[in-house]
A and B are shown apart, each in its own frame.
Chain A
Amino acid sequence: MELDGRVPSGPIQDKWDKHRMDGLKLINPANKRKYKAIVVGTGLAGASAAASLGELGYNVEAFCYQESPRRAHSIGAQGGINAAKNYQNDGDSIYRLFYDTIKGGDFRAREANVYRLAQLSTAIIDLCVAQGIPFTREYGGLLANRSFGGAQVSRTFYCRGQTGQQLLLGAYQSMMAQVQTGRVTIRGRREMVDLVLVDGEAKGVIMRNLRTGELESYAADAVILASGGYSTVFNLSTNAVGSNVGAAMRAYRKGAYFANPCYTQIHPTCIPFSGRHQSKLTLMSESLRNDGRVWVPRKKGDTRHPSQIPEQERDYYLERKYPSFGNLSPRDISSRAAKEVCDEGRGVGETGYAVYLDFEDAFNRLGSEIMDERYGNLFEIYHQITGEDVHQEMRMRIYPAPHYTMGGLWVDYNLQSNIPGLFVLGEANFSDHGANRLGASALMQGLADGYFIIPYTIGNYFARTNPGQVDTDRDEFAQCRDEVARRNKELLAIQGNKTAHELRIELGDVMWDHVGMSRSRESLRKALQEIGRVREEFWNNLQVPGSDDSLNQELEQAWRLAESLDFAEVMAHDALNREESCGCHFRVEYQTEDGEALRDDQNYAYVSAWEHSGVGREPTMHKEPLEFEEVSPSTRSYK
């Protein structure tokens, strides 16, 4: 079946305006209070959606698995947020941000969505400043910008190295202001364990109260998922340890399509892996590449201290291979280049899987004070983790790590999934980044979805429904609760010998080795077998102590892993189907002579959206063809 993204007609720059006028119905202010939306997840997308819907007068019930909505993992974003303000007078424009994003995504995103994102980018900055977000400023008191990968203009706004934290707290505070008015209710320590459909439309959720173990039912007129991505399928990633794909997978089981699950961004600048005990990988903001130079020794197995390796024996491979973008090449290209030099045996550090990010030039040019102002907190994090002081060493060791997932539940132009009444925002949807996301664009998308898109599009859905039609006494809720309870009992009854933690590591290894930075037909077939093996082991040899009617963190882990295992399979199927290389999806069979990704626009210029067809059965693929009216897909070149 061909999917329709329901993109409005007309010139690209007028689509959103025209759509708001002609395509989207409004709800009378007096009627808004009769409607209720459920928001799952309180990161940038979820919190901003809850805040703006509350402000409009809708009732909102917002859920998060964390104790408080302010803990959502958007808080970890460091570098910044893009906006086409052109404050630097360096040639930026809405069109350029649109073009950079489409090109950065390797021509695998929907044009109209990306254009709208670029249009909304400037309003986000205005709003955030009004909220009191302390963006870094210049001495004249106006906003400062920095450069980011994949762009030749400087359009990234930032709050030191904690931009995600500040933007999230801004959205959280706005949401708390709505809690004070009574229109938004927050329910923390709740995990979404099922989506409830009534007559084929999303009308509620089942939540497991993580504190008491109780299964709770909540009904509403629509459900918004803003539950983040799926990087933790690799076990170690830059995500929080609790981040998981569970909520999206519950929707998938209920019929929502999962789009482009093979696209995972492996971030080029993370602190390298050090041992089995490790529970996560820590990101070092890409902004470091503004002033850092990436290199490895020219010789294989060169174990000299980096300061002893003379300039001519260093290979600044990004500057060498991509002279015009150099150290600011996009993330997918930089990550793959790092893997390549390490696979050649030229990697550094204990494991040989690391490269240097060198600041010697920058310290000499700018001095310690300016460097600390820009990167002080990152140097601190690095010091805490590795015990090394960048001020003395002049460089870091870095290596790529799973970071962000471009794929997600399929949505149309209104951010509505194929299930009516189910909207998906932020990283949880697939809509704007194609096969690769540019740095500082995730925060932009999360906030655009939550503040500026969903308030309009959800109204259009409400306009054709009567409010308050569904309550939790209905059979549909009882059925879902029973099914969840049965599954929990099943997990507890296995009483085997392996912990969820051990099995999570096993799955992560399979995914990293076979569905990681580069994939092949062979590795993907192997992955499908191995995922099956781990799942078999999971359902036969898992050990979960305790009960399901109380706080049980092991049961939470096991539940999330069960979802991850099912998701991993969808991901591998998608990667196997896509017989081309594009953005973060690199199939070794499809590369140019000099090892760059070889796209196949003839056969693969589409979004692949997967439909669940029963447990243990291969999912069915639907296609949404990508039509490029504005830009013509070209071979990405950052040389």
Chain B
Amino acid sequence: MEFRLRVWRQAGPDAPGGFEEYLARDVKEDMSILEVLDQVNQDLVQQGRDPIVFESDCREGICGVCGLVIDGVPHGEPKKTTTCELRMRHFRDGQTITIEPFRAGALPIIKDLMVDRTALDQLIQSGGYVSTRVGSSPEANTIPVAKQDQEEAMDAAECIGCGACVAACPNGSAMLFVGAKVSHLAKLPQGRPEAAKRVTAMTERMQELGFGNCSNHYECQAVCPKDIDVKFIARMNREFIKGLFKKKN
């Protein structure tokens, strides 16, 4: 197969950017799109040109580092796929493919396709945990957890923190990311004692960091490689309101 790639190139955070075109030849259908970029980069390096900067690590859809916007969609089509798992069999031979970085106010571009997602770490830092001490845990089976609660917590906990939800949202909101963490922990008895404090702190931090609010577009779930459900945003709102009452009291 052969493809024309339109790739966003940008020298630095404040430099102007633009598209450049590259030809990808000898592409096999079970290659991932990142392997196609690898191949293009090899040619560029051999020509002594500046290779395209993009990030990836695990290349098996779990580390969450590889987000690119492919033909306008974070992580591209089909659904429930990270960029590193996106195989070329999903494209038409000869097609032009447009590749851009995630774009959101809170995730600034570093170079080319690489963005800065440390804002997501700061969100977790503000409260996305259970305060435990290494030495003070009760025996693991002391508190039974209903299987459906644990399963729902796990559905939320599967978030890989890639930021596609933020990139897809017209408001650049991180509500799905925060909602997933708030719900994961709120759904389990271990996370209840801090539930109100957590949701309040994370929501405040989200606003400080320049993420937008949710206005129910649901683009986030549509692009989420782990299909995290927007119902977790609803749960987050509920926890937030519950938290307001707690604060008053």
Residues of A near any B CB (own CB < 8 A): 51-52, 55, 66-73, 75-76, 85, 87, 123, 125-132, 134-143, 159-160, 162, 165-166, 169, 172-174, 176-177, 179-180, 186, 188, 211, 240-242, 274-275, 277-280, 282-283, 380-381, 384-387, 451-452, 455, 497, 499, 501-502, 543-546, 551, 553-554
Contact of A179 with B125 in the complex, beta carbons under 8 Å = yes
**Residues 141 to 178 of chain B near chain A (Cβ within 8 Å):** 141, 143-147, 150-151, 153-154, 157-158, 160-161
Nearest CB in chain B: distance from A235 CB, A: 13
Contact of B128 with A546 in the complex, beta carbons under 8 Å = no
Contact of B87 with A132 in the complex, beta carbons under 8 Å = no
Contact of A87 with B141 in the complex, beta carbons under 8 Å = yes
Contact of B56 with A134 in the complex, beta carbons under 8 Å = no
Contact of A385 with B63 in the complex, beta carbons under 8 Å = no
CB closest residue in chain B, given A129: B140
Nearest CB in chain B: distance from A375 CB, A: 15
Known: A66-B65, A240-B57, A280-B59. A501 touches B138 (CB 8 A): no
Contact of B110 with A551 in the complex, beta carbons under 8 Å = yes
Known: A87-B141, A129-B137, A134-B184. A543 touches B45 (CB 8 A): yes
Nearest CB in chain A: distance from B90 CB, A: 10
**Residues 37 to 83 of chain B near chain A (Cβ within 8 Å):** 38-39, 42, 44-46, 48-51, 53, 55-65, 80-81
Taking CB atoms, residues of chain B closer than 8 Å to A241 are 56-59
**Residues 1 to 50 of chain B near chain A (Cβ within 8 Å):** 28, 30-32, 34-35, 38-39, 42, 44-46, 48-50
Q: Pick the interface stretch among B95-103, B113-121, B215-223, B237-245.
A: B113-121
Contact of A160 with B154 in the complex, beta carbons under 8 Å = yes
Contact of B121 with A186 in the complex, beta carbons under 8 Å = yes
Nearest CB in chain B: distance from A320 CB, A: 32
Contact of A75 with B132 in the complex, beta carbons under 8 Å = no
Contact of B138 with A275 in the complex, beta carbons under 8 Å = no
Beyond contacts A87-B141, A134-B157: 14 other A-B pairs, Cβ-Cβ < 8 A, are A67-B118, A123-B137, A129-B140, A130-B130, A137-B144, A159-B154, A165-B160, A173-B129, A173-B130, A277-B28, A278-B35, A499-B42, A543-B46, A545-B48
Taking CB atoms, residues of chain A closer than 8 Å to B42 are 499, 501-502
A143 to B136 alpha-carbon distance, docked (Å): 19
Known: A132-B185, A165-B62. A172 touches B124 (CB 8 A): yes
Contact of B190 with A130 in the complex, beta carbons under 8 Å = yes
The A/B interface has a contact count, at CB < 8 Å, of: 205
> For B129, B139, B151, B160, which residue has the most chain A Cβ atoms within 10 angstroms?
B129
Taking CB atoms, residues of chain A closer than 8 Å to B60 are 76, 280, 282-283, 381
CB closest residue in chain A, given B39: A277
Taking CB atoms, residues of chain A closer than 8 Å to B132 are 127, 130-131, 174
CB closest residue in chain B, given A373: B151
A-B contact pairs, 17 of them (CB 8 A): A66-B63, A67-B65, A67-B118, A126-B140, A127-B137, A129-B140, A130-B137, A131-B190, A134-B188, A141-B144, A173-B130, A179-B125, A282-B59, A381-B61, A499-B42, A499-B46, A551-B53
Taking CB atoms, residues of chain B closer than 8 Å to A380 are 80
Contact of B134 among A67, A73, A451 (CB under 8 A): A451
The 5 closest A-B pairs by CB, nearest first: A141-B144, A173-B129, A130-B137, A126-B137, A134-B154
Taking CB atoms, residues of chain B closer than 8 Å to A162 are 62, 158
Nearest CB in chain B: distance from A605 CB, A: 35
> For A71, A241, A278, A280, which residue has the most chain B Cβ atoms within 10 angstroms?
A71
Contact of A211 among B65, B80, B110, B153 (CB under 8 A): B110
Question: How large, as a class, is the contact surface on chain B?
Answer: 35 or more
Contact of B140 with A85 in the complex, beta carbons under 8 Å = yes
Contact of A126 with B125 in the complex, beta carbons under 8 Å = no
Taking CB atoms, residues of chain A closer than 8 Å to B116 are 67
Determine whether B248 belongs to the interface, using a CB cutoff of 8 Å to chain A. no
Contact of A387 with B89 in the complex, beta carbons under 8 Å = yes
CB closest residue in chain B, given A83: B140
Determine whether B249 belongs to the interface, using a CB cutoff of 8 Å to chain A. no
Taking CB atoms, residues of chain B closer than 8 Å to A277 are 28, 31, 35, 38-39
Known: A66-B65, A132-B130, A176-B128. A137 touches B111 (CB 8 A): no
A392 to B232 alpha-carbon distance, docked (Å): 33
CB closest residue in chain B, given A384: B85
A160 to B111 alpha-carbon distance, docked (Å): 36
Contact of B129 with A176 in the complex, beta carbons under 8 Å = yes
CB closest residue in chain B, given A387: B89
Taking CB atoms, residues of chain B closer than 8 Å to A554 are 45, 51
Taking CB atoms, residues of chain A closer than 8 Å to B146 are 141
Known: A180-B126, A385-B85, A545-B51. A166 touches B157 (CB 8 A): yes
Nearest CB in chain A: distance from B9 CB, A: 13
Contact of A545 with B49 in the complex, beta carbons under 8 Å = yes
A381 to B62 alpha-carbon distance, docked (Å): 11
> For B34, B46, B125, B188, which residue has the most chain A Cβ atoms within 10 angstroms?
B125
Contact of A75 with B63 in the complex, beta carbons under 8 Å = yes
A553 to B55 alpha-carbon distance, docked (Å): 9
Nearest CB in chain A: distance from B149 CB, A: 9
A52 to B30 alpha-carbon distance, docked (Å): 43
A76 to B44 alpha-carbon distance, docked (Å): 31
Taking CB atoms, residues of chain A closer than 8 Å to B28 are 275, 277
Known: A132-B191, A385-B30. A70 touches B161 (CB 8 A): yes
Determine whether B246 belongs to the interface, using a CB cutoff of 8 Å to chain A. no
A546 to B80 alpha-carbon distance, docked (Å): 36
Contact of B57 with A73 in the complex, beta carbons under 8 Å = yes
A211 to B64 alpha-carbon distance, docked (Å): 19
